[in-house]
Structure 1
Amino acid sequence: MSDNKHRVTRRQFLNYTLTGVGGFMAAGMLMPMLRFAFDPILRETAGTDMVAVADVKEITTEPKRFDFKVKVKDAWYESEEPRSAWVYKDEKGDIIALSPVCKHLGCTVDWNTDKNNPNHFFCPCHYGLYTKDGTNVPGTPPTAPLDRYEFEVKDGKLYLGKAKPRGEA
């Protein structure tokens, strides 16, 4: 009589087998989806790669545009992306590195090109104005100040990293 209690019926065996096979198949389908969803979170970031832009001796109190290239990796494709920065020294002698991208529509700003507003950064797309320190002038289209680049000085050279909004830099 005890032999009958421990026997597995054909129906139970098929139920266990099909449940196990179905579970493996479901796991096989879900794993790629989960990896796709969590991969950006788990991926290591490259950090802030600093790029040599200029000699510190070249930097004056007048903003000067420096062009440089940053290596960018997009999946399997690696390329160099051109970037620019407006760099100058303030009254204290501290280096300021500003992004030339207007915060209104992303046009490129220039220094001291508007004859009506000298000593300002000027965006020609919609007549946006920024002061020398990158602060947006009230009453003009830009809604935020110019981004500032992270920077460091090593061996007399200026290295720039990522441009960050004013509160983060």
Structure 2
Amino acid sequence: MSNHDQEKNHRPVKRNEMSRRQFLSYTLGGATAFMAAGVTLPMIRFAVDPILKKKSESTWVKVVEEAKVTNEPQEFKFNIHQIDGWYVSDPEQTAWITKDEQGNYFALSPVCKHLGCTIGWNTEKNNEYVCPCHGAHYTMDGKNLSVAPKPLDEYDLKVESGWIYLGPIKANTRV
């Protein structure tokens, strides 16, 4: 056996051990990643959950007794319960409710289709809806006569147990 072989055999075996510095950096890095995940995952869930929620069927809101509605449009206010992501509110809405010659009830949105102002009924003594902002005029059925490009929107409406219920707004079906 040569000297070289003997030196090779007597050389201390080099182990692949972790140094203190490596141990500390792995430990601190792991702890930091764990804490970052703990903060980030709830934020991601908060942002994504409302998007993934199934849309519920439209809710009907009890607005007025059927007996109170006449052939002359009347303004009725009501509150809707709405959930927008995590924000829950009960904003007040308005509808012009009337019945036609055949006794069918219908409800129109008060929002002018020109620039979104609130319309009023018969303010110029002409049996028309009139917008005070820019002079848009509509018939009792919501048909646009001047200024506005479209007819007034209509609410879904149903009658149950002597009460009128309103649902979501839709395009006007009367004109």
Question: Does the TM-score normalized on the shorter chain lie above 0.5?
Answer: yes
Which of these residues, 103, 107, 110, is aligned with residue 113 of structure 2? Answer: 103
1:86 corresponds, among 75, 91, 96, to: 96
Relative to structure 1, the CA distance from residue 41 to residue 108 in structure 2 (aligned partners, 3 Å threshold; closer, same or farther) is: same
Q: Deviations over 1:52-76 (max 9, x none)?
A: 1000001111001101111122314
Deviations 1:86-139 (A, max 9, x none): 000011111010000001111100000014xx00000000000000100100x4
Q: CA deviation at 1:167?
A: 5.5
Q: Distance in 1 between matches of 2:143 and 2:52?
A: 37
Counting only pairs closer than 5 Å after superposition, residues 29-48 of structure 1 correspond to structure 2 as: 42-48=52-58
Equivalent positions of 1:110-149 (< 5 A) are 110-115=120-125, 118-137=126-145, 139-140=146-147, 142-149=148-155
- How far did 1:37 drift? 9.1
- Structure 1 residue 36, shift from structure 2 partner: 8.7
- Equivalence for 1:57: 67
| Secondary structure, counterpart of 1:92 in structure 2 | coil
1:159 to 2:169 alignment: no
Higher Rg: 2
TM-score between both structures, scaled by the size of structure 2: 0.68
| Contact 1:98 1:149 (C-alpha < 8 Å) held by counterparts | yes
TM-score (norm 1): 0.70
What is the distance in 1 between the residues matched to 2:63 and 2:110?
Answer: 15
CA distance in 2, matches of 1:37, 1:73: 15
Contact 1:53 1:68 in 2 (8 A): yes
Runs (5+) with no aligned partner, structure 1 = 1-30
Report the secondary structure of 1:57's partner residue. helix
| Paired amino acid for 1:52 | K
Measure how far apart 1:166 and its partner are: 2.3
Corresponding letter in the other structure for 1:89:
K
> How big is the alpha-carbon RMSD for the aligned residues of Structure 1 and Structure 2?
3.5
Q: Distance in 1 between matches of 2:61 and 2:172?
A: 22
